[in-house]
Structure 1
Amino acid sequence: MLQFLGLRFKFIYLFLAAICMAAQADVIHLKNGKSIVADSTHEVNGRVEYTVGENTFAIPLSLVETIDAGMPASVPGASQPAPSEDVPRPPEVQNGKDLIAQVIRDGQIDAAALRSIEAQGNADLSAAANLVAANFEEKRNHLNEAARYFNTALGFAPNYAVLLEHYASVLVKLGKPAEAILYGERATRASPEASEAFAILGYAYYKNEQLREAIAAWKKSLALKKDSKVEELLARAEREDKAEADYREQQSSHFVLRYEGSQAPDSLRTDILSVLEEHYSTLQRDLGAAPGNISVSLYTKQAFFDVTQAPAWSAAMNDGKLRIPVSGLTGMTPALMRVLHHELTHSFTGYITHRHLPQWLDEGIAQMEEPRSASMFGPRLAALYTAGRQIPLDQLESTFQSYGQDEAFVAYAEALAAVECIRTNHGMANLAQLLQKLGSGEPIESALRSTIHGGYAQLEGEITEYLKKNYGQ
C-alpha cells in the first residue's frame, strides 16, 4: 500500500508539474488589453520581435504596454491575439522541466522519446509525458493533436480530474460539445469539489443546447468558488432561458430554429430556413468545410438586446448561435437575407478555424458573402489608405463590439476591403486555405505568408494599390 501511495504521489507531482508545460515564456501585454505569449522577445528598431515555436513575428513597439520576461505560459493557445472559444479555463499548475526536456526537443514533440517513456510500463509517467505533449500542442492551437495526446494520457490515468477537464475544454473548442459532456461529467465525479470542472461542464452543456443543465452546472461552480467569467456566462444563460421559455422549435436539414409563435409567422420561418439552407451550400462550396446543426433564435427587437447585450448598431449576432431580431417581419426582405448570409458565414469561419482568426478577416469574409462590395465606400477608403491614415489590420484583430458606430463603420469597411483585395489578387481558394491554416494553429502572419506570400506589411500595401486602382480619384 505504501508503495502504491508513493507511486500515486509521484504521478500527481509529475502531472501537476507537466500540465502548464513548456519552459518559461515572455508575455507581451498590448495597449488594447490583449496579450501575446511568446517563447522569446527582443526590441529591434522600434519593433518587438517575438518567436513562437520556429516562427518569428514582429509588431510595432507603439502597440506594446509592457513585456513580462520569463513568465509561466499561463493560457494555452494565447500566443495569438485573436478571438477564440470562450471556454472556462482548467486549473493551472507548475512545470516538470526534466520530463518536458525529454518530450519536447528543438521546438517539437520527440515521438521516439514519448514511445520510449511509454515502453517503460509506468502508467503514471506515460500519462504525464502525453500530457506534456498535449499542452505543447494546445498552446499552439493545434487542437486536434492536443486532443489526441489528451486521449492517450487518459488511457493511462482515466480518472484524473484535471486531465479530464483539459480534454473536455479542448473538445468544446473543437466543436464537439456532446463528447465534451461525457468527460466533463467524469471530471465532476472524480473531483466533486472542483469548481473548474463544473464550469467547463456547464459550457459543454450550453454549447450542446442543454440550457437548464448549463445553468445548474454554473451555479454549482459558483457555489464552490466565485468567478467573474462564470458569473457572466450564467447571467447570459439565464437571460436566454427567460426570453426563450415559451419558444417553439422547427428543424431543417442543418438548422434548429427557435421562435415565439406570435412573432414569427409560418411564411417568415419557411423563408428563413430556405435562405439559410441555400447559403449553407454556397459556403460549403466556397470554404470547403461545413459545421453540423446550427441553432437559430428569432427575437423581438427588445428581447434581442436583452439577451445579447449587443451594441445599439448591431443588426444580429452569432455567438455560436444565430440570434436574429425579426420584429414586424412577415416574410423575407433583402436586408434580412444579407443578415442571415452574414451571420451564417461566422458559423463557418468559426468552425473551420476553431474561432482562432482575427476579427477583420472574420467580418470581411462575412460581408463578402452577404454579398457586399467595398465600392459603396471605395473612394473614401482609397483616400484614407493613400494618406496612410487607415487603422492597421493588426489593430483590428480583436472584437469590434466595443467600438462606437463611427469606429465600427471604418473597421467593417477596412475588413471588407482587405478580404476583397485578397480574393481579387489571390483567389477564393487561397482565402479558404488561409482559414484552414488558422484552424491548424498557424499564427495569422505565418498563415498570410504561406498563402499570399507576404505578411501584414505586404497586405496593407496591396490593399492601398487595390483601392487606388479601383476607387481612387
Structure 2
Amino acid sequence: MKCPYCGQEIKTSPHVCPSLPPGPPAEFVDVFLTRVTTQVEPGPLQAYLQQLLPHLEPPAISLLLQHLPAVILRNQPRPAAEKIRQEMSLLGATVLLKAVSPTRPLAPRPGLPLMEPPPPPRRFTLGYLVLLLVCALAGLAYFLVSRQPSRPESEPEPITFASPRPDPGLKPVDASPPKLKESAEDPAQVQIRSLLQEGVKQYNQSRYIEAIHTMEQALLLDPKQPQALNNLAVIYCTLGWDSWKKNDFDNAKDLFQEAMHYQPEALCALRGLGFTYFRQDDLETALAWLNRYFDLGGDQADVYALISDIYYRQNDLKKAMEFLRMALALDPSQAAWKDRLNKLEREHTVEKDFLAGDTRHFVVKYEGYANAEAGWLVMTLLEEAYLRVGAELHYYPPNPITAILYTDRQFQDITRVPAWAGAAYDGKIRIPAKGLRQDDERLQRIIFHEYTHAVVHEWSRGRAPTWLHEGLAQTLEGEPTEEYFAFARLLARSDQLIPLRQLEVPFIRLPEPQAKVAYAESRLALEFLEQTYGSYVIRQLMEALAEGKTMDQTLQDATYLNYDQFNRRLLEWVGQSYGSQ
C-alpha cells in the first residue's frame, strides 16, 4: 500500500513511513497488565507484584488484579520492561508494552491556547524608559475609564481544544487573549497580536470563515507566525469534524488535509483522517494515518479501539484484542468495549485453530479438514450471491466479507441468538455447518439471505432499520414460501399491521411467533415499495440512510410519505393484494 504522507510503497505494520525524518528510538515503555489466566495460583503473581510495586498494600494489589487491564508502570527502560514481561508471563499474566518517546520534540499541536510571543528585546535607554512610563500611564487611565470583564460571567471557563471521540465535537481554543507587550519599535508585532486576538474571538463565536481570513492576515505579516499556523490548523480541524458529523467524508478529508498544510503534525487532523477513511471502508489507509498519529505521540483510547475494529474486520483477532485491551487500560469506563472484548475472547477461543479459504470477495473459516468441503461449498454460493445480489441492487461491498462455519454448540456460544435462528450476521456471516449439502436449497437461501444483510449493512453504513434489512434479505433469498403467503393473507384479514417504527429493533429479541409476523410484514413492506415506487427506491433509501438521515426523513424523500402515512398506505396495499386470496 502507499503511505498517505509521501506516496511511497510501505507495509501496514511500520508506524512511520521510511521517507520521514527518523526520530529517536523509543527507549522507554509503559507496562500494561491486561489479563491473568485462571489456571494458575494467584499467590506467586501477587507476591511478585508486591515486590514490583512496594508502595501498594496487599489489598490494593488484589483490587488491581480485579480491574484489568491496567497500567502498572510508566516510562520504564525497554530491557527492564521486557524482563518484567517475561517473568510475569511465567506466572500466568499477559503483559503489553507501549512505546513512549518522552524526549522527542514535537511541533506545536493544534488545540493549544494562543501562545504568547516573546516580548521585543529590552533596550534600557532613557527614551525607552520615558516611553514605557507614558504607555503605562495611558494604559492605566484607559483601564479606569472603560474597564470591562474580558468575558461575561455566564460564559463557561475557557477550555483547550481536544480532538473528539468517534462522534466528534471539537472544543474551542483558549478564549482568553494573550497579554500584549506593545513595542513602538515593531508595530507589525502589535498588529499581529491584535489579529490573533480577533481570530480567537471569531472562532469562539463559530465565525470560522472570518477567523480563517483574520489568521491569514497575520500570516501575511509573518508567514512563519506559530500561533497563526497553530490556530488555522485548529479551525480546519473543527470544520473537518463538522463535515464528518454530517457524513460528508470527502469534504472532511479535504479539510483535515488543509489543517496539515499549516501544521504537518496536527494530531487532530491525523486522527480525523483515520476515522474518515475508516468510515469510507478504506481500512489500509485508515490504519496508515492512525499509525502516523501514534508515531507523533497520540495516545487517545478511542483510536486504539478503532484500530481494534480494523484488525477485527481483517480477521486478526489477536491484534484486535491487544488494541482493545490498550483502549480499556486508558479508559476503563467504556462498558461497551468490555463487552466487545469478552466477545472477541470467546471468538478467539473457538476459532484459534480454524482453517481459512478465500476468494476475491470472501474469507471463509471452518474447523478442520473434515469441513473443507463445506467451506468450499459456502465460498461457491457466496460468490454466486455476490454476482446475483450485486446485479439486482447495483452495489458491491468494497472489502472482503468473512463467513464462519460452526458446530451448533459453537454457533450458540458465539452468536447468543435464539434457537430458531438459522444463521446470523453481526459484521460477519455465521452459519451452523451441520448437514450442509450441495443440493440443499435451504443452504442457498441462507447464504443469499445473510449476504444481503452484509450488503445492506455496508451500503447504509449500519443505519438501516431491521424491517428494511429483513425485507430485502427475504426478497433476495429466493421465491416466497407458502408460510409467507399464509401470513400475508392473515395480516390482510386482520386489517392491522405492526407499525414499522416498532420493527426497527432486531427481531431476535421477539418470541418466535411474533418474529414470524415481523419477518412477513418486512417482506410485504419491500414488495409494496418496489411495486409502487420501482426498484430504484431501494438505492434512494440506502444512500439517504448512509448520509445520516433518519428513517422518517428517508421515507419522506423517497416516497413523499412520513412513517405513519407509509404504514396506512402499506395496510391498504396488503388488503388489496392479499385480502381476496
**What is the TM-score when the length of structure 1 is the normalising length?**
0.74
Unaligned runs of 5+ in 1: 21-87, 105-111
Seen in structure 2, the aligned counterparts of structure 1 residues 186 and 6 have a Cα distance that, compared at 3 Å, is closer
Instruction: Tell me by how many angstroms 1:401 deviates.
Output: 3.5
Q: Which residue is 2:193 aligned to?
A: none
Deviations 1:306-355 (A, max 9, x none): 12222333221222211111113243411111111111111211222211
User: Conserved in 2, the CA contact under 8 Å of 1:15 and 1:131?
Assistant: no
Q: 1:162 to 1:126 in 2, by over 3 A?
A: closer
- Aligned pair in 2 of structure 1 residues 16, 431: CA closer, same or farther (>3 Å)? farther
User: CA 1:261/1:347 → structure 2, altered by over 3 Å: closer, same or farther?
Assistant: same
Give the corresponding residue for 2:463. Answer: 356
SS in 1 for 2:306: helix
Look up the SS of the partner of 1:324 in the other structure.
Answer: strand
Contact 1:18 1:128 in 2 (8 A): no
In structure 1, the residue corresponding to 2:430 is in which secondary structure?
A: strand
What are structure 2's unaligned runs of at least 5 residues? 1-106, 116-156, 174-200, 220-227
- Residues 212 and 235 in structure 2, CA contact (< 8 A), matched pair in contact too: no
How much has 1:202 moved relative to structure 2?
A: 1.3
Contact between 1:359 and 1:397, CA under 8 Å: does it hold in 2? yes
Q: Sort the Cα spacing of 1:7 and 1:407 in 2 relative to 1 into closer, same or farther, 3 A.
A: closer
Report the Cα offset of residue 95 of structure 1: 5.2
Whether the 8 Å contact between 2:365 and 2:403 is mirrored in structure 1 is yes
Amino acid at match of 1:430: V
- What residue in structure 2 maps to residue 331 of structure 1? 438
Q: Which residue identity lines up with residue 10 of structure 1 in the other structure?
A: P
For 2:508, what is the secondary structure of its paired residue?
coil
- Structure 1 contact 263–326 (Cα < 8 Å) conserved: no
Equivalent residue in structure 1 for 2:424, among 313, 317, 329: 317
Structure holding more strand per residue:
1
Aligned to 1:136: 242
Among 480, 485, 489, the residue aligned to 1:379: 489
The aligned residue for residue 9 of structure 1 is 112
Q: Residue 212 of structure 1: SS of its match in structure 2?
A: helix
1:206 aligns with 2:312: yes
Tell me how far apart the structure 2 counterparts of residues 311 and 183 of structure 1 sit (CA, whole Å): 40
Q: Which of 203, 211, 227 does residue 99 from structure 1 map onto?
A: 203
Alignment partner of 1:282 is 2:385: no
Letter in 2 for 1:9: L
Q: Which residue of 1 aligns with 2:63?
A: none
Over aligned residue pairs, what C-alpha RMSD do you find?
3.1
Is the contact made by 2:111 and 2:161 (CA closer than 8 Å) also made in structure 1?
Answer: no
Please tell me whether Structure 1 or Structure 2 has the larger radius of gyration of its CA atoms: 2
Aligned 8 A contact 1:16 1:93 in 2: no
Q: Are 1:150 and 2:253 counterparts?
A: no
Show the counterpart of 1:400.
507
Q: Show the 5 A alignment for 1:2-41.
A: 9-10=112-113, 16-17=160-161
Answer yes or no: is the 8 Å Cα contact 1:346–1:362 preserved in 2.
Answer: yes
Aligned-partner Cα distance in 2 for 1:103–1:453: 36
1:312 & 1:322 partners in 2: Cα distance?
A: 17
* Change in 2 beyond 3 A, CA 1:276/1:186: same
Distance 1:9 1:94, change over 3 A: closer
Residues 89 and 196 in structure 1, CA contact (< 8 A), matched pair in contact too: yes
Q: Secondary structure at the match of 2:309?
A: helix
Bigger shift: residues 409-418 or 162-171: 162-171
- Which one of 507, 529, 539 corresponds to residue 432 of structure 1? 539
Please point out which of 154, 160, 182 is paired with 2:288: 182
**1:258 paired residue number:** 365
Question: What does residue 39 of structure 1 align with?
Answer: none
Letter in 2 for 1:221: A
Q: How much has 1:193 moved relative to structure 2?
A: 4.7
- The partner residue of 1:172 within 278, 285, 302 is 278
Q: 1:116 to 1:92 in 2, by over 3 A?
A: closer
Structure 1 residues 130 and 395: CA distance shift in structure 2, 3 A: farther
**Which amino acid counterpart does residue 491 of structure 2 have in structure 1?**
L
CA contact (8 A) 2:468 2:526 kept: yes
Match of 1:228 in 2: 335
Q: Against the structure 1 CA distance between its residues 171 and 7, is the aligned structure 2 distance closer, same or farther, given a 3 Å change threshold?
A: closer
Q: Is the 8 A contact 1:18 1:131 kept in 2?
A: no
> Who is 2:349 aligned against?
242
Whether contact under 8 Å (1:286, 1:432) holds in the other structure is no
Question: Is 1:467 matched up with 2:574?
Answer: yes
C-alpha distance in 1, partners of 2:349/2:313? Answer: 17
How far apart, CA to CA, are the structure 1 residues paired with 2:298 and 2:408? 41
Partner of 1:30: none
2:428, 2:285 → 1: CA distance?
A: 19
Q: 1:208 to 1:398 in 2, by over 3 A?
A: same
* 2:464 counterpart SS class: coil
Aligned to 1:271: 377
**Hey, what's the Cα distance between the residues in 1 that align with 2:572 and 2:401?**
39
Cα separation, partners in 2 of 1:91 and 1:471, compared to 1, 3 Å: closer
Change in CA separation of 1:190 and 1:427 when aligned onto 2, cut-off 3 Å: same
Aligned to 2:30: none
Deviation at 1:391, TM superposition (A): 2.4
Please give the secondary structure, in 1, of the residue aligned with 2:363.
Answer: strand
Preserved contact between residue 164 and residue 183 of structure 1 (Cα < 8 Å): yes
Code of the residue aligned with 2:203 in structure 1: it is L
Question: d(CA) in 2 for partners of 1:6 and 1:275?
Answer: 51
- What is the CA–CA distance in structure 2 between the aligned matches of 1:465 and 1:245, rounded to whole Å? 52
Write out per-residue CA displacement over residues 170-225 of structure 1, whole angstroms, 9 at most, x where no aligned residue. Answer: 33332222222223333334446532232222122212222211111112222233
Query: Whole-Å Cα distance in 1 between the matches of residues 369 and 472 of structure 2?
Result: 34
Distance 1:212 1:366, change over 3 A: same
SS of structure 2 residue aligned to 1:290: coil
1:376–1:167 CA distance, 2 compared to 1 (3 A): farther
Equivalent residue letter for 2:464 = L
Structure 2 match to 1:31: none
Summarize deviations over 1:104-146 as a string: whole Å, max 9, x none. Answer: 7xxxxxxx65874674543322222222222323333334443
Q: Paired residue for 2:91?
A: none
- Could you tell me how far apart the structure 2 residues matched to 1:338 and 1:407 are? 21
2:415 paired residue number: 308
CA separation in 1, counterparts of 2:114 and 2:424?
45
Is the Cα–Cα contact under 8 Å of residues 14 and 125 in structure 1 kept in the other structure? no
